[in-house]
Structure 1
Amino acid sequence: MKRCLPSPWLSAGLLALWLMLTRSLSPGNLLLGLLLALVLPVLAAPLRPAGPAVRRPLVLARLVLRVGGDVVLSGVEVVRGVLRPGHARPVSRFVVVPLDLRNDHALAALAMITAVIPGTVWCELAPDRSRLLLHVFDVSGDDAAFIDHYKNRYERPLREILS
């Protein structure tokens, strides 16, 4: 079954997209849409990378909850830093984080985590994937404390889950 229909959700989406684009439910459009929805995922299957092997699902669940909480807390801190002009100004700067991750899926997950947390921007990954340049909205304390926090909070769980 997996060889004939490698990605059922992709097939359903392609059929729906075809029918929306043609704006017709005629038998010919349904047949052509169904044909495209069945053939295109089979032809594209060799191009898709292998999915990651998740080794520690409980660590993954904890990481998802942690990131969700960090998004909310960081959003509040950014709003407070922007809307309170009379108080201490945020200290924003670029921070170079040394990386231990080498797994492509783990690096992609780390990039997504960094992108969704307000106040952090993934700027550059070194060509040898050993360092990451981040721009941080407010670095309270020294860079070493932020690097330690970032690595323990996000990189270490990703290494447990995907490496």
Structure 2
Amino acid sequence: MATRYIRRLFPHPLLSVALVIVWQFLSNDPSINSLVFGVILGVLLPFATAAYWPDRPRVTRPWKLIPYGLIVAWDIITANITVAMIVLFKRNDDIHSKWISIPLDVRTPEAITALAGTITLTPGTVSVDLSNEGHALLVHALHADNPEKVARKIKQRYERRLKEIFE
């Protein structure tokens, strides 16, 4: 019975937590007032928008989001360094830009969106298009000597983990 009331108050608990954390970062003032206002936002915004989320994403293993986020953060840092080295020290003739079609095993829209966003956030790669059936993602890589290796890395490093989280 208490669970029903908690669910009513927090219709999207992960969104509530994310809003509190993001507000703390945005406020640039880690004080009790900022935390209280973040909690108010974390309760009110999901509550006010709950009607617009009838098919909210089902995260089957939310605890796996933390290691996934750490992996993505690490990859963003290392990719920034790699792209800087390419831009600063490679000649245009030495850069091998490639279009890569990545066949997808994930099927949920949330997992596909998270994968496309992760690829785009990582410097040197950008998600460009999704096939009509949602079975392949077109990615542009700034420098890829071996496109198959890039596709395998994306599938192994990101898609496999997103499949565990969302499906």
TM-score, normalisation: structure 2: 0.68
Q: Tell me, yes or no, if the aligned pair for 1:91 and 1:139 is still in contact at 8 Å.
A: yes
Q: 1:159 Cα deviation (Å)?
A: 0.5
Q: State how 1:121-160 maps to structure 2 within 5 Å.
A: 121-141=126-146, 143-160=147-164
State which of 84, 89, 113 in structure 2 corresponds to 1:84. 89
**Structure 1 portions without partners, runs of 5+:** 10-37
TM-score by length of 1: 0.70
- Contact 1:111 1:122 survives alignment (8 Å): yes
CA spacing shift, 1:5–1:127, aligned 2, 3 Å? same
Q: 2:107 aligns with which of 102, 106, 127?
A: 102
Provide the aligned C-alpha RMSD in A. 3.0
Percent same amino acid at aligned positions?
Answer: 29
User: Aligned partner of 1:111: which letter?
Assistant: A
- 8 Å CA contact retained: 1:81, 1:89: no
TM superposition shift of 1:50 = 1.3
Kindly tell me: are residues 132 and 5 of structure 1, through their superposed partners in 2, closer, same or farther at Cα, counting changes over 3 Å? Answer: closer
Rg (Cα) greater in structure: 1
Q: Deviations over 1:57-96 (max 9, x none)?
A: 2x33222111111101111111111111459722111000
Q: How has the CA–CA distance of structure 1 residues 156 and 4 changed in structure 2, closer, same or farther, with 3 Å as cutoff?
A: closer
CA distance in 2, matches of 1:87, 1:102: 37
Q: Which amino acid aligns with 2:96?
A: V
Cα separation, partners in 2 of 1:102 and 1:119, compared to 1, 3 Å: same
What residue number does 1:113 align with? 118
C-alpha distance in structure 1 between counterparts of 2:12 and 2:62, whole Å: 25
After superposition, give the CA deviation of every residue in 1:1-59 in whole Å (9 maximum; x if it has no partner). 564785796xxxxxxxxxxxxxxxxxxxxxxxxxxxx7xx54x43222413223262x3
- Local SS of the residue matching 2:94: coil
Report if aligned partners of 1:121, 1:134 keep a CA contact under 8 Å in 2: yes
Structure with a larger share of its residues in helix: 2
- Residue 115 of structure 1 and its aligned partner are, at CA, apart by 1.6
Aligned residues: 135
SS at match of 2:139: strand
